[in-house]
Amino acid sequence: MIKKIRIILALGFVAAGSAVLVPLQILSMKTGWWPETVILKIWHRMIIRALGMRIHVRGALSEHRPLLVAANHISWTDIMVLGSFADVKFIARADMAGWPLIGMLSKLQRTVFIERERKRSSGDQASEIGSRMAKGDAMVLFAEGSTGDGNMILPFKSTLFGAASMAITEGAAQQVFIQPVAIVYTRLHGVPLGRRHRTIAAWIGDEDLMPHLKVLMAEGALDVEVHFGEAITFSKGSNRKEIAKLMERQVSAMVQAALTDPLPSR
């Protein structure tokens, strides 16, 4: 009964907040009266609060531009976690555009949607991402190409780093900075999550969105850590596969360190 009440209150909180924030975001996009990420941060923080999540950050988003953020991916909530405190834009798979609420939010923050199975469109998509980075947007790439279970990361796909090459090839930038970022869900109600229970946060495969959303709202009190590594330079002649492997190793190391010794819950 308590969990049902918590879900109803959380959904009501999100609906009421969205009714106010969505028109403001549309106004911002059309007029440029204030930075677009201002409203988005408030919206993301509202979702995080409704879910009962607590965010712990180690390090910071690089100030170098153009910037591509290479992160692991566990759940749709990763977007809210990063977006709640960092001025970033996202690269997401195409089908997300049609998701209820999440799709609308993605469009309102100018997410770049990519069709990973259609090789013919990959060049245009990489070009758009490269152009956005060259204009100063820090673009978040979930480099695994899918979501993991929270215990270990999947291999990073080198093809997804094509935007960095495209930005340089087309002359939009002489070099691109790539920063590894690890997202780790570590505790539930202050208790460290074991291997079996990390799937509470994970949203894997074709799982429906609403059931997972209800589980998170019912449980609440998840701690999530975001670890920023050092940005490296990607320039003409850099090897995409080597960069992808390097980012994978660095993100994996940060994930395992956080799982082994999670930051104190506050």
pLDDT tens track, the chain, 266 positions: 666 777 777 777 777 888 888 888 888 888 888 887 888 899 899 989 988 899 999 999 999 999 999 999 998 889 999 999 999 988 877 777 676 666 777 778 788 877 755 554 455 667 778 778 888 889 999 998 888 888 889 999 888 787 787 777 766 678 899 999 999 999 888 888 887 777 777 777 666 666 666 777 666 788 999 999 999 999 888 888 999 999 999 999 999 999 988 877 66
177 within domain boundaries: yes
Is there a domain that residue 217 lies in?
yes
In a domain, 42, yes or no: no
Whether residue 212 is contained in a domain is answered as yes
CB 218 within 8 Å of CB 180: no
Is the pTM of the predicted complex or chain greater than 0.95? no
Name the domain count of the chain. 1
The helix (run of H) or strand (run of E) holding residue 113 is strand 112-114
Asked if residue 133 is part of any domain, the answer here is yes
Residue 154 forms part of a structural domain: yes
pLDDT at 124: 65
- Give the whole-angstrom CA distance, residue 84 versus residue 39: 10
Decide if 140 contacts 91 (C-beta within 8 A): yes
Report yes or no: 50 and 222 within 8 Å, Cβ to Cβ. Answer: no
Q: Is residue 7 part of a domain?
A: no
User: CB-based burial of residue 94 (10 Å sphere; 0-12 exposed, 13-18 middle, 19+ buried)?
Assistant: middle
pLDDT in the model for residue 122? 53
Report the 3 state secondary structure along the chain.
Answer: CHHHHHHHHHHHHHHHHHHHHHHHHHHHHHHCCCCHHHHHHHHHHHHHHHHCCEEEEECCCCCCCCEEEEECCCCCHHHHHHHCCCCCEEEEEHHHHHCCCHHHHHHHCCCEEECCCCHHHHHHHHHHHHHHHHCCCEEEEECCCCCCCCCCCCCCCHHHHHHHHHHHHCCCCCEEEEEEEEEEEEEECCEECCCCCHHHCCCCCCCCHHHHHHHHHHHCCEEEEEEECCCEEEECCCCHHHHHHHHHHHHHHHHHHHHHCCCCCC
Q: State the residue for tokens 């940005």.
A: 231
Residue 34 lies in a domain: no
Give the SS3 label for residue 225.
strand
Give residue 149's domain range: 52-260
